Every structure is written in structure tokens, then in C-alpha cells.
Chain A
């Protein structure tokens, strides 16, 4: 009967019904998220909730950047507590691994493989450790000219983009686009020379207004990554290639007021006058970057909030509510408009508290849904989130996970109580095989020929399969080839128990002449590592 009611009721009534069924305490954000998601999937093919094995693997990958080891899997599965999932989420989010993992996720997301920088990573890790609000982080990143020791790393977002190569000039257009895309969720690429041809809301004035913040920035010290600003005294002039109408704009965030460019008497424009001989950068009194960092990441800026909640939703759920992530406009509406608005409102109201936000999302039914569909059924449109979306694993997650799976993670050097750093050489190899090219967002599953060949034949990968001490291959090779052994292999590598058919297939494989001895175990482990299941965050 309940289902019948659900099917036939309009959303607003449903919400009232649900709300009236709660206790005095308001529904948590998690609850509200589920309500809004559920409202659109009544009567549809909805997957079950993830079982313990699926869940523990997913949540470790998302918050610890790696698959759980067998002890972690067993302990979670064996735990009888009713709220064990909530507890595990809380535990992982407050673990040292969390800040490293989030730093890497945000690094890939915001630098898009343009380059690496130790100080930048340190800045990110530190910020996530302290649980800085995203508005504070965005402010620091967009400031671009941070001189405080603990904030210098944040300058990398701009300093990298202000580099130029050979005779090519600095690509200010790309920088402008990146800020629009990554901080406002809007790709103004097609609005540089004219108003966007088919997205009415993206105007050339939007592009040029943003561009005006950056046109006078430059890379003052390439090695140290120091950004400088030249004098900004006048507006940017522009004209559409179609309409020959002269226009101009001061620095302006789309949807907000133009920043007034103050006038100074000649000779009084600088706070600190430039002195090239003494290598002193001139610091103008009027800093467009300062204005940008003050105005853009604020609660008043709807684009700012919507963009970040959409991106964090994507990181957790595998698809943005607005997808692609940088095309928020009327013609590309969110799959769940009320949900997007709700998330933006709540995140902002909670001072952009990332840990809180992630906790709320992780505790939803929708996040914990299985990615499996009943055999024979067709999964719904991914935008409905009726079935969990399989997510791409980053090169870094893959490396950590392979090291866990091959029993080598525990042997890595740790500094203090922290999670270990990945060996540089392996990190580089994995990035080469699995990472996208610069500025190609890693927002969908893409498995390249390069990656396949890497897994098949690379010395570094095959070396991980060498039995040593008590690593996975050595361990398994000592065991008799039976269901106990296969179960262990699956638990260690895929974080789950195999079904009878899978055990049968694996034993059959091991019984082949070509699988005699060590080779069989190595190749069994290899096949599990090379499987789609291992290479995805399902």
C-alpha cells in the first residue's frame, strides 16, 4: 500500500508526508537527500543497498584512497553493530589518510594534471586536515599571491597556469576558462570572441569580465612559483566578432557587480614600488586578484556554491547533478534541481564544512546503494542514481590499491603515524599509464590501450607479482589450491568472497598445466588485478 501511495503522490505532498512522519527533530541532510532522490525513482528499477563488502571497499577508496586490506574487510564484516557504517565513515574521515586522499582528489580535480608541486600538495593536505571551509580554501587559492608560509602552496593554481612554453605566450584565455569552469561551473570557452552561440546565458562580457582579473597577472618567479600583478588602471575593451559594437568591462564575476577600478595620482599607484635591481616586485594598491578572492567564494555567489556541491557530489556519486560539471545553464538543468539548491544552501549555511558535507552524503541510502542490478534488468538512466555509478579510479588510487592487494602496502615507509608516501618511480609510471593528458578532466571511465599494455607487460607491474616474504603471491602459493585459498585471494584483492562458480573457475585455471607452481598463482593474482572489477570503484 505504501508503494502505491508513493507512486501516485506528487513530490510536494510526499515531502510533507515524510516530514510529518519524522520526530520533532528535523530530517538530517542525508535524509533529505534520500527523499529527493527516492521521489524520482518510484516504480523504477532500483538496486539494493550495497552489501558490507561492496560498502567497505567503496568507502575506503573514497576516503583512504585505497582498497581495504583483508583485516579491515574482515573486521568490518564481522562487526555486528547496527551503526557500523556510520562509525566507519566517521573513523575514515578523521583518519590521517583522509587528508592525503582528499588532497589528491582535489589536486587532480583542480589542476587537471597540469603539473605537480610539493608545496601545493602540502597546502591541500594541511587544509583538509584542519577541515578548512571550502570558501576559505577557494579564497586562498584565488588570491594567488599568498606570502604566508603555510599558504604559499595555494599560489600554484595560478603560477602553473601563468607559465609559458618556448615562444608561446602565456595562455590567459585558458586560465580564465579554468577559473570559470572550476570555481563557477561554467565553461566560457565559446564566449571569448562573441556571446555563446547556443548557451544564451554565457555572454562574451562574462568571459571578458573574468579575464580582466587575470590580464595583468604574471609569473614573477618561475622556480618559486611566485605570481605578480602589474598595474590595472583601465577596463578591458572588447568587441564581438559578429557585432562590431565596442564594449568594455572592469574585472567582474559573472552575475555580480563590476569591480570599481580606483584612480590614483601618477606615482601613487603602488603599495610597494617595483625595484627590478633589488628584485622587489611591485605591489599595486589595487589588486584584482584580491577582489576576486574576496567576492567569488562567497555565499552570495550562487554559482560558487552550486559548483562546489555539484563537484563534491560528483566525487562521491560518479556523476554531477549537473553534468558535465562545467556546463551549468538553463539548457542543461540539474537532474534534481531542488536537491542541488538544497545542497548549495546547506553547505553554505554550514560554513562550507567539507567533512560535515561528505559525512552527510556518505550516510545516505543513495551513496550506499549497490552498483549491481538484478540479472536481466536494465539499469535506469544514471542521472536518477537508482543504481550506484561505477567510478573511475585515479592512477594514485590504483597504485595504492595494487600495493595493498599484492601485500606490499604494509611494508612502505611511514613518517610518524601518517599514511605512507607512494614510491616516486611507481607513482610516475602509474600516472603515465592511467592519468589523462593535461586539462582533460578525469570525469569518466577511460581505460586506454596504454593502460592495458602497462598491466600486461610492464616490468614494474610484474615485479609486484614476485613472491617475496609474506606478500600475497607468496602467501597464496604456500596454500593448497582449494576454496579456502581462492576465498583468501578474492578477499585480499577484490575485498569480497567469491561465489561457488568463481571458485570453480579459479581452481580450474590453477589446474591447467600452464599454471603449474608459482606461475599459476601469479597469473591468478594478475587476472584479478587486471579485471574491470578491480580497476573500478564500484
Chain B
């Protein structure tokens, strides 16, 4: 497979040759931004990716994908038509409504857990049958099943508020190698930035020597023992070449405005750049969606911010020709109760809720499944999260009915085998 060669590589090599000592992406100026068409082309050919947007706490399906205006539990908001005739969503998502022709809604989710602590885990791990092993989060699973993209960038990256780090627990039984690298508030991981005392040239030279030493070592030893370190030093080098991904000052203000001057907007924008850089699985988390109180003002404040960034993302992925290659998922750990409590809030509701997705391997412009008039139950086939895992793996080209994990000899299905795939959403 041809090694993906980014414009950054060329530029760096040339600088090295010229013996210049200018550092980093700062001197690349406008060209520091990824040359979109070239990269998109390569990614399109080889590498499928995932953008997993997690709204932690439980976004209300009644204030988003499955509104029931003017009904007992409908709340104050209206529903609006979308680009797809017959599909209406909450008035809080006007921009996304204009992109409905790219989206697939699933309104028939019915899952098991109405608590956050266990619920988040169960959803992100696909709530498999209990075999006494800790299943990997979707990001770790994809990281394992598909490996990194040909860009060599770390396969599982998590952009989140507050702290970052190396999150190994996501990987479950797969082992810490498949954990997530979390960028706290989008910042680079600890020690990513080369200190001033080490020039770029010196860094390249010392790593070249290190690689030579390892090559010599490998001539007479088992390959595997030094492979681990080679891989991660390579990944470190790839990441370090892309420190521009962590430099917010490089982003055109037009993009910042389109995604919204909010924490979520910034993180989504960085997620797009991570996808462009060839990260296999990018997770973006927004916290604070657990609106047990003041749900309507809460969603009035929160949902439009997602609307803005999400629609900008869809637009950009489409424009870059990436939407066919990137599987986009937007969801929470459950929905919210139709019943409105005394604090004007809605409580946890796994009984009948929704998610939205787009892109790789999916149909376009479809609302799959429905709930009854009041939103108190799914009408027709209800789907647990296991079904979604089957759908997502299929969309990425992995047959979940045939592919298994091997946990030290114990074969394990990659998705809950008691859940059925939802064929109608797949392309």
C-alpha cells in the first residue's frame, strides 16, 4: 500500500535539506491547513473512518429527533419540516433540518439501562451478552478491527472537555494498546510538543539513529519485541508532524464562526481536522445533557449549539467528499422521559429514544422506526444498542455475524448476537 505522503512531509524534507531552522507549522502559513482534495482522495480510496459524537447525560428525543408537539408530553417547542418531506424534527435543529437528506434517524431505540454510570458503558460497549469480560468501547473495537488508517495517525482519538490523557479502560479485554488518546479541551497530549531545547532537525536525527539501532537489534531478535516501540515512536512522529492540529490560531475565523464560538464548536472543528489527518475513529464528547431540571431552557441553550456544529460538519464532510467514507454517529446513553417533573425537567428514558447518523455505508434521508403518538413506547420493532453495533460494523465493511474477537482463545462476538441488524438503514 502506498504510504500516504502529506504536504507537510514534503515541506519538512525541503526545509531539512535547506538546513533552515524554522520550526513547526507556524511557518507553513496558509498552506499549514491540509490540502483538502489531495487528502480526501486518498482517504476515500483506502480508509473508512468514524466520527462518534457523544452527548453525555441523555439528550431528549422529544426536543430533537422525535418531537411530539401539541401532545400531552410534547413540551413547549414546535416541530419543523426538513429537507426530506414527511420527516419533521424539533425546531431547535433548523440547520440540521436542511441536511436531513444526508441523515438517517433511528427512532426505535429501546435499551436496558436507565443509569448513567452503567448506562454509558453499556451503550458504548454495545451491551453484549455477559461473558464475564469487559467489552471494548466502539472506538477501541474499530481500532482493533480496522487498525490505524494509512496515515499512521493514532487510530482512536477522543476530543473532550477538561482533562486529557491515555484512556486505556475503553479497550476492555483488547488491552491498553487499543485505548483512546484523549485531547483535553482539544489540547495536545502531555509531552507531544517538542521542547525548545530540541530542534526539529536534532529530533529527526536522533530518531533516525534510534531507528537504526532498533533495526540492528531486530536482525538477531524476535520481531515482536521491538515492534511495539517502533509503532509508537512512528505514531509519535506522525502526531508531532501534525501539531498544527492542536494550534487553534491556525483556524480560519470563518470556520470558527460556522461551527460556533463554543466549546463544542471548537471540538467539532478539531474533530474534522483529525478526520482529515487520517484518524480512524474520532470521538467528541459534550457533557451536561442530563436535564432533570429546566429541560426546555436547557435544550434551548444546548441543542442549537450542536445544530450549528453538526450541520457545519456535515457540510464540510460532504464538500470534501468524505461523507461516503466517514460514518457519523450522534447519540447519548438514553433519551428523556415524556413526563415532565416538578423542576420542569425530563428524567432518564431508555424505553423509546433516538439517534442520528450519516455517511459511510448508510442510506440517506431516512427516519427508521417510530414511537407512538405520545412518545411513551416504540411502535413496531424496537432495537437495543446491539443492533446498532451490527449496523455500524456492516457500514464499515465488517460482517459482525462472521467476525469474532479472540480473547486468549475465547472467541467472542463483536456485537450482541441476540440483536438483529437493521437492514433498512444500510445502503
Partner of A514, one of B175, B199, B214: B199
| Of B19, B208, B230, B236, most A-chain CB atoms within 10 Å | B236
Which A residues touch B14, using CB under 8 A? none
Complex contact B205–A449 (CB within 8 A): no
Complex contact A449–B202 (CB within 8 A): no
A450 to B191, alpha carbons, bound, how many Å?
8
- B235 at the A interface (CB under 8 A): yes
Shortest distance between the CB of A241 and any CB in chain B (Å): 9
Within 8 A of A (CB), among B192-208: 192-195, 197-199, 201-203, 205-208
Which A residues touch B206, using CB under 8 A? 523, 526-527, 530
Complex contact A448–B194 (CB within 8 A): no
Complex contact A454–B191 (CB within 8 A): yes
- A531 at the B interface (CB under 8 A): yes
- A445 at the B interface (CB under 8 A): yes
Hey, what's the 0/1 contact readout for A302-334 against B, CB within 8 Å counting as 1? 000000000000000000000010010000100
Which A residues touch B233, using CB under 8 A? 452, 456, 530
Which B residues touch A515, using CB under 8 A? 202, 205
Complex contact A502–B194 (CB within 8 A): no
Partner of B225, one of A332, A436, A445: A445
Within 8 A of B (CB), among A429-488: 436-437, 440, 445-454, 456-459, 462
- A535 at the B interface (CB under 8 A): yes
Known: A452-B233, A514-B205. A446 touches B176 (CB 8 A): yes
- B162 at the A interface (CB under 8 A): no
Which A residues touch B400, using CB under 8 A? none
Which A residues touch B175, using CB under 8 A? 440, 446
Complex contact A458–B131 (CB within 8 A): no
Complex contact B229–A447 (CB within 8 A): yes
Partner of B189, one of A197, A198, A453, A502: A453
Shortest distance between the CB of A249 and any CB in chain B (Å): 20
Within 8 A of A (CB), among B155-182: 166, 168-169, 175-177, 181
Complex contact B192–A457 (CB within 8 A): yes
Known: A390-B225, A449-B236. A524 touches B177 (CB 8 A): no
Smallest CB-CB separation from B240: which chain A residue?
A: A456
Shortest distance between the CB of B320 and any CB in chain A (Å): 27
A371 to B217, alpha carbons, bound, how many Å?
11
Complex contact B192–A437 (CB within 8 A): no
Known: A372-B220, A447-B228, A449-B235. A436 touches B176 (CB 8 A): yes
A437 to B213, alpha carbons, bound, how many Å?
29
- B250 at the A interface (CB under 8 A): no
Complex contact A532–B225 (CB within 8 A): yes
Known: A514-B202, A523-B205. A456 touches B194 (CB 8 A): yes
A523 to B194, alpha carbons, bound, how many Å?
14
Complex contact B219–A452 (CB within 8 A): no
A291 to B286, alpha carbons, bound, how many Å?
52
Shortest distance between the CB of B159 and any CB in chain A (Å): 16
Hey, what's the 0/1 contact readout for A487-526 against B, CB within 8 Å counting as 1? 0000000000000011001100100111100010001101
- B408 at the A interface (CB under 8 A): yes
Partner of B232, one of A371, A452, A527: A452
Known: A531-B210, A531-B213, A532-B217. A453 touches B191 (CB 8 A): yes
Within 8 A of A (CB), among B7-65: 19
- A354 at the B interface (CB under 8 A): no
| Of B175, B195, B212, most A-chain CB atoms within 10 Å | B212
Smallest CB-CB separation from B169: which chain A residue?
A: A437
Smallest CB-CB separation from B408: which chain A residue?
A: A324
A449 to B166, alpha carbons, bound, how many Å?
9
Complex contact A449–B181 (CB within 8 A): yes
Hey, what's the 0/1 contact readout for B146-159 against A, CB within 8 Å counting as 1? 00000000100000
- B402 at the A interface (CB under 8 A): no
Which A residues touch B201, using CB under 8 A? 514
Which B residues touch A459, using CB under 8 A? 195
- B418 at the A interface (CB under 8 A): no
Which B residues touch A198, using CB under 8 A? 410
Within 8 A of B (CB), among A95-109: none
A532 to B215, alpha carbons, bound, how many Å?
10
Complex contact B217–A531 (CB within 8 A): yes
Which B residues touch A445, using CB under 8 A? 224-225, 228
- B249 at the A interface (CB under 8 A): no
A526 to B232, alpha carbons, bound, how many Å?
17
A349 to B169, alpha carbons, bound, how many Å?
42
Complex contact A197–B131 (CB within 8 A): yes
Beyond A456-B233, A526-B206, 8 extra complex contacts between A and B, CB < 8 Å = A189-B132, A375-B220, A445-B224, A446-B175, A448-B177, A523-B206, A528-B213, A532-B218
A-B contact pairs, 18 of them (CB 8 A): A190-B133, A373-B221, A440-B168, A446-B175, A446-B228, A449-B181, A452-B229, A452-B236, A453-B189, A456-B236, A457-B198, A462-B197, A501-B216, A512-B205, A513-B19, A514-B201, A530-B210, A532-B229
